Amino acid sequence: MSHPFDPGYVAEPFLTLCSEYPGADVYPPDQFRTEWGPIFHRGRLDGSARILVIGQDPAQHESVIRRCLVGEAGRRAQGLLRKLGVTRSYVVINTYLYSVYGSVKARTRKDPRLVDYRDRWIHALLAGGRIEVVLAFGRVADEAWRFWKATPAGESIDVGYAALTHPTQPESASNGDKVKLAEATTALLRNWNKALQAVAPRVQHPDVPTPFIAYGDAWADDDRIGIPEFDFPAGLPAWMREQDGWARRVGPDDLAKRRNITIRIPKGVLT
Amino acid sequence: MSHPFDPGYVAEPFLTLCSEYPGADVYPPDQFRTEWGPIFHRGRLDGSARILVIGQDPAQHESVIRRCLVGEAGRRAQGLLRKLGVTRSYVVINTYLYSVYGSVKARTRKDPRLVDYRDRWIHALLAGGRIEVVLAFGRVADEAWRFWKATPAGESIDVGYAALTHPTQPESASNGDKVKLAEATTALLRNWNKALQAVAPRVQHPDVPTPFIAYGDAWADDDRIGIPEFDFPAGLPAWMREQDGWARRVGPDDLAKRRNITIRIPKGVLT
């Protein structure tokens, strides 16, 4: 049985980007969980990506797997990419290298050191001229893209672009209220439908040409897709890809929670 | 601030070895924690290694970091390598890809599929002809080397070799008894001194030529060395290298413990 994996950071400029990254001086620990280290990307770094996804920040599953957007948000994003016919030729980065703790101050968000480092990633990923569409999830990702577009290099780039509602915004916004969750989900799926219609014509080289099928008013079963094994580092077990909720921040108070990630293999894996 | 990292599995034969590895059919889950996935190596895979270390099996810190021999045993091994002048040009593999659960049956240990896969690693690491010394930690690692030496390729290889007591055998053997621990530590250090004297002349290309200084009867402070940042995957936080005991298997019973790894950032990192 073959287990394809993502070799990670094997060539420039990514070797340098992953060894010289901003730390706690740029990402203040009162606003970011710098103590868990930066998470850089998920997907293709070999120049084959056609879609660049900009997410928000890594959470606990990402901190274990060391790749962006691997939990429930990742599976929803994966379904969106498939609607565009892109099953492999994508790359994901986040607005922030580190997990947000509380809220991020405007001064931090606009810190040229933070922005410049991220722009170096965007620049590197767009450099080959293969990216056809950029998708930004959430408000800060949209801002990240606009900051880049305002640079001289950004001004000269012509790609399709859509700012989308973040894949798990309905959960964040509804706080356990089922009616609100359903409404926010419908709003998200309408937002995504609009975005898809806008950018679909720009995807000229899909992996699997796919007729456009819009989302309904609620998630359908196959709207969420497992993240492919070839996106993960070598040797990771299947349950890390296929299931969710196996990593939690547990503790009696905020500091204890911040210091903790508890990994628990989902039921049914071990009997 | 630069953070050198280990790029991992970027070229053949390692790309294939890390995508086609034995699973639960070869490593039975009643003897191995296959559910946490295989851990392949630590150190140089670019042909620059002069010393090959064969360890035993990965534990919980290794399961998070996805590299071999990174805890206390790793720091002791690192000190041993430095006594041979080797601070970078080494590579570590384990006898077993997966963490041992309970004890390993002879039939499993000798399963040709298990042995052959490991031999492919040993073969790949010795192929460049640069390895001058092989160090085996513990009885099963010694057996692994002898199995390889009995193959046609193994018979024709001439390298220095020593079978050493496993770096944390004193802790395993003394079960909390301080007198026994001190005795077992002295025995280990004498065993290591003998091995060092035997193999030191074979290390012809040390990174830092180092006059031989024997171990005393107990660990000295600088006998244990932090594992270099360049051995870890990109972006891992410093406390994962510098401290120990931050990953534990916690739970009310054996199955719960087996399903769990609890990561807790050491005190002093976050204040």
B269 and A CB contact within 8 Å: yes
Which residue in A10, A19, A262 is closest to B3 by CB distance? A19
pLDDT digits (tens, 9 = 90+) for B17-73: 999 999 999 999 999 999 999 999 999 999 999 999 999 999 999 999 999 999 899
Neighbours of A160 (CB within 10 A): 19
pLDDT for A5 equals: 98
Which residues on A lie below 8 Å from B10 (Cβ)?
7, 10
B99 located within any domain: yes
* Residue showing tokens 């420039």: A12
Q: Is residue A4 part of a domain?
A: no
What's B151's domain CATH number? 3.40.470
| B232 has a chain A CB within 8 A of its CB | no
User: Is A184 inside any structural domain?
Assistant: yes
Q: How far is A85 from chain B (nearest CA, A)?
A: 26
Residue B76 in any domain: the answer is yes
- pLDDT of A244: 80
> What average pLDDT does chain B have?
96
Domain assignment present for residue A241? The answer is: no
Task: Kindly state whether residue B19 falls inside one of the protein's structural domains.
Answer: no
pLDDT at position B186, please? Answer: 98
Q: Confidence band (pLDDT; 50, 70, 90) for A243?
A: confident
3-state helix, strand, coil in chain B (%, to 5): 40, 10, 50
**Distance separating alpha carbons of residues A270 and B196, to the nearest angstrom:** 43
Question: Do A19 and B2 count as a contact with CB atoms less than 8 A apart?
Answer: yes
Cβ atoms of residues B9 and A7 within 8 Å: yes
Q: In which domain, by residue range, is A91 found? A: 30-224
pLDDT > 70: percent of chain A: 100
Q: Could A37 and B235 be called an inter-chain contact, meaning their C-beta atoms sit closer than 8 Å?
A: yes
**Residues 5..64 of B with a Cβ closer than 8 Å to A: which?**
5, 7-10, 15, 18-21, 23, 29, 35-40, 64
Q: What H or E segment, with its residue span, contains residue B178? A: helix B178-199
Distance CA B49, CA B4 (A): 17
Quote the number of domains for chain A.
1
Does the pLDDT at position B243 exceed 80?
no
Contact A154, A186 (CB under 8 A): no
Q: Is residue B11 part of a domain?
A: no
A270 forms beta bridges with A267
Q: What is the pTM of this model?
A: 0.95
Average of per-residue pLDDT across B162-184: 96
Average pLDDT over residues A183-204: 97
Region B165-171 average pLDDT: 96
| A18 domain-assigned | no
List pLDDT tens digits, range A110-141.
999 999 999 999 999 999 899 999 999 999 99
Residue B260 with chain A: CB contacts under 8 Å: 262-265
Q: Do B3 and A15 touch (CB under 8 A)?
A: no
Neighbouring residues of A47: CB distance < 8 A, sequence distance ≥ 6 = A128, A130
